[in-house]
Amino acid sequence: MNPEISNSDYQLAVQLLGRDPRTPFAVKTRCGDGSPQVLIADPVFLEDGIWKPFPAFLWLVCPRLKILVAELEQQGYIRKYSQQLETDEDFRLRFLSSQTQISAIRVEMAEKLYPGELPEHIREILTETTIAGSRDFRGVKCLHSHLAHELAFAGNPIGADVINIVGHCSKVDNCSHLNKGGNLE
């Protein structure tokens, strides 16, 4: 467990994530009710004596947002944004800029964690993948990752559009008490 995170935040974050995390993490953003919304994990981690890159280091854990974003994905928004990247130059340039921004953040964090010089193969993965861990910068893999990026650091046009559609969380949403079906427990 990350020493910078309280035990109660850690337990709630793991519950919202639905599994034990592979890497240390912190709460990056919170919902209106104060519960964890986006977690930020280490972009590199040591496993069995081997350092591994972890480019999808932002996790959307808010149940409300996860459900609403999954509905958008089912409605074809992944395809919509992929097409928009192909046809809208301004949108594509803003998207590529946001991916450059997140790559720089990942590399900077990794350099602080890795003992010594960051190996080129790890640097390459952290700089040549999207926030969702894809090497395809013209396709969209996961709206949850793009929304997490927007909430955590801003600048992701896909995530910005998604939050405009689904809306920010408020105190009355009671996000930490939603079950997997999207209903209050």
Tell whether 183 is covered by a domain.
Answer: no
Tell whether 185 is covered by a domain.
Answer: no
C-beta atoms surrounding 171 within 10 Å? 10
Alpha helices in 119-167 (DSSP H): 120-127, 143-153, 157-166
* Residues 133-184: tens digit of each pLDDT: 999 888 899 999 999 999 999 999 999 999 999 999 999 988 877 654 444 3
Q: How many domains does the chain have?
A: 1
pLDDT at 44: 95
14 vs 53, which has greater pLDDT? Answer: 53
Q: Which residue is listed with tokens 């900077």? A: 108
Domain with 143, as residue range(s), is 7-177
| pLDDT category of residue 3 using cuts at 50, 70 and 90 | low
Tell whether 168 is covered by a domain.
Answer: yes
* Residues 38-91: tens digit of each pLDDT: 999 999 999 999 999 999 999 999 999 999 999 999 999 999 999 999 999 999
Q: How many DSSP H helices and E strands does the chain contain? A: 7, 5
Structure tokens at 14: 């793991």
pLDDT at 185: 37
20 vs 42, which has greater pLDDT? Answer: 42
